[in-house]
Chains A and B, each alone.
Chain A
Amino acid sequence: MQALTDTFRNPVSDDPLQPISLASQQLSCTDTPKQPDSEKSKESLLREVKMLRERIAVLESAQSMRSRAGAAGWIDDLFHSLVDGVEDYAIFMLDPEGRVTTWNRGAQRLLGYTADEILGRHFACFYTDSDIAANLPQEDLRQALTDGKHSGDLWRVRKGGTRFLANFVTTALYDADGNLYGFARVLRDVTEQERAKNEIARLHSDLERRVAERTAELTATNEELAAFSYSVSHDLRAPLRAIDGFSQAVLEDYGLSLDAAGAGYLRRIRAEAQRMGELIDSLLDLSRITRAELIRQNVNLSEMVQQVCQRLQQNDPHRPAEFQIAEGVWARGDERLLRIALENLLENAWKFTCLECVAKIEFGVQKREDDQEVWYIKDNGVGFDMAYARDLFGAFQRLHSEADFPGTGIGLATVQRITQRHGGRTWAEAAPNQGATFFFSL
């Protein structure tokens, strides 16, 4: 408000009034009417009146300008106080030659100079020596002049020599007549931001490197596993076939020379060789599941369960069984692998209900609190003690004897592997002689 008050306090001291005073003096001194030349003095008077009117118009114009200037001055003050209050940004102005003409609090905080120390100094003192040698201060101003505005990131030097990375904008300023008035400079310290950005980039690249390393390791492991499977497939089965085949050859060719015990031993050798063959096949299947490509699609589990149950019943048509299969149950996953998982679970349910009068096998889906779907297969079979459930899903882990319930002990490991590959898991709830329920998520 100061500028506005001043304007009204001393209106006569302003330049636009000066010619009026002079004109008045001229009127009183030089244009006093002289007798008898009345015509001449009339013309002179008319000329003076015209001149006076012109002067009044100038005065009115000047007063109007002064009034606007007063308002502008108030806005200037407000603007200056706003700019000065900014602490996170250095905002200052330069004259056309690059000397500092204004300095805000942010500039003092960021660059370390007080207004007294810096006003009038050339802004090149904020540049590094190498930037000065490369003529960057002049180049910054030149670009601002050419483009109206120039911005970028550069290292700046504080009072005392420490450096910081600044994001800067230089704007060329012109007065109403288009003459260069100076430059506005806004600086922000982005050192921390840059450091964080570099750190993120470093972590990212480190992560990428580690992922690449892990991927290479996994690829190597997978290749090793594939080679191992191949070797198992070819090399371990051949001797087993020989054990089984030669045992049979002995039974066929020398059966008459053997007593019952001798023949029995040979049959046991054959049975064990064949069992080992099955174990090898199961292991190979498990390894295939681990390596198989996962193709996700919408799968109708109800239909799949229905088909497996039908097959189980057809293979053993006289066994009384009740199947309760929820309809319209879908899941998103690999159709082939999900079928293998369901086959294993249902075959287990079928196997472990073989002692019941009526086998009851149920399939359904539940929604958990977190909205996640959980599918389950429940049976009324022999169940098991949960105390031993810990190793249930390990390969070759069995909770029942081979004599009671034959199997390779690889089925649940296969199910677990399949659900894990889908990002889910498998678990069970059971009690001895009260059936078991196997849950899985995907």
Chain B
Amino acid sequence: MILLVEDNDNDQFLMFRALRARNISESDVLVVRDGAETLEYLRCAGRFAERDPNLPPSLILLDLKIPKVSGLELLHCIRSDQRMRLVPIVVLTTSTQQEDVVAAYEAGCNSYVCKAVDFTKFVESVGTIIDYWLHLNTPAPDL
């Protein structure tokens, strides 16, 4: 299961289309729309009260600019969560600001990818992310 942290409906739609090109359906993706909801997910609270904390997502796709709690703060929270700290996190954002790139890596992301305006390129980059992190990469074993 992929956790997609994305507040923009259009970007969600485009992301689903891009994932579909890699045979990943919407049911394989859990969408959280802001930082507060992401924290609820991490803490198995609110609408995620029933979530099994021992089943972390296989990949987190994180936008940096999201409402309530920033993507950078979420990165810190996720990395300090015992059961989530080894989950691969790919920051997918529009920002090409060097400060953001550095801060994201410092906060513990595994990869930083800029969302291209050109949808064809966007689909290609999402495909590369999926190929690499879900197929080529060896994830850390459950501890």
Contacts and interface: CB of A to CB of B under 8 A. Distances in A.
Contacts of A280: 117
A48 interface: no
B142 interface: no
A284 B100 CA distance: 14
Contacts of B116: 241, 277
Contacts of A281: 96
Contacts of A249: 13-14, 17
Given A234-B65, A238-B8, A238-B11, A244 B119 contact: yes
- The 4 closest A-B CB pairs, nearest first, are A277-B117, A242-B10, A245-B119, A245-B14
B138 interface: no
A8 interface: no
Contact of B95 (A230, A240, A241, A246): A230
Contacts of A229: 97
B20 to A, nearest CB: 10
A384 B55 CA distance: 65
A233 B94 contact: yes
A306 interface: no
A264 B111 CA distance: 37
Contacts of B10: 238-239, 241-242, 245-246
A248 B115 CA distance: 16
A276 to B, nearest CB: 8
B133 interface: no
Given A242-B11, A245-B10, A246-B10, A237 B94 contact: yes
A420 to B, nearest CB: 22
A230 to B, nearest CB: 6
A44 interface: no
For chain B, give the interface size range.
20 to 34
A245 B95 contact: no
B17 A234 contact: no
B80 to A, nearest CB: 26
Interface residues of A, number: 25
A348 interface: no
25 contacts: A229-B97, A230-B95, A230-B97, A233-B95, A233-B96, A234-B65, A237-B117, A238-B10, A238-B11, A238-B94, A241-B119, A245-B10, A245-B13, A245-B14, A245-B17, A245-B119, A245-B122, A246-B10, A246-B14, A248-B119, A249-B14, A249-B17, A270-B118, A270-B119, A274-B118
Interface string B104-118: 000000000001111
A321 B14 CA distance: 43
Interface of A: 229-230, 233-234, 237-242, 244-249, 270, 273-274, 276-277, 280-281, 284, 288
B117 A241 contact: yes
Q: Of B14, B17, B94, B115, which is in contact with the most chain A CB atoms at under 10 Å from its CB?
A: B94
Nearest to B15: A245
B120 interface: yes
Interface in B50-104: 65, 93-98
Contact of B14 (A233, A237, A242, A288): A242
Interface string B1-35: 00000001011011001000000000000000000
Q: Of B11, B17, B96, B119, which is in contact with the most chain A CB atoms at under 10 Å from its CB?
A: B119
Contacts of A288: 98
Contacts of B65: 234
Contacts of A238: 8, 10-11, 94
A292 to B, nearest CB: 9
B114 to A, nearest CB: 9
Contacts of B118: 244, 270, 274, 277
A234 B117 contact: no
Nearest to B14: A245
Contacts of B95: 230, 233-234
Contacts of A270: 118-119
A237 B8 CA distance: 12
A240 B11 CA distance: 11
Nearest to B11: A238
A241 B115 contact: yes
A233 B117 contact: no
Contacts of B11: 238, 241-242
Given A237-B94, A239-B10, A241-B14, 13 more contacts: A233-B94, A233-B95, A233-B96, A237-B117, A238-B10, A238-B11, A241-B116, A241-B117, A245-B10, A245-B17, A274-B117, A274-B118, A280-B117
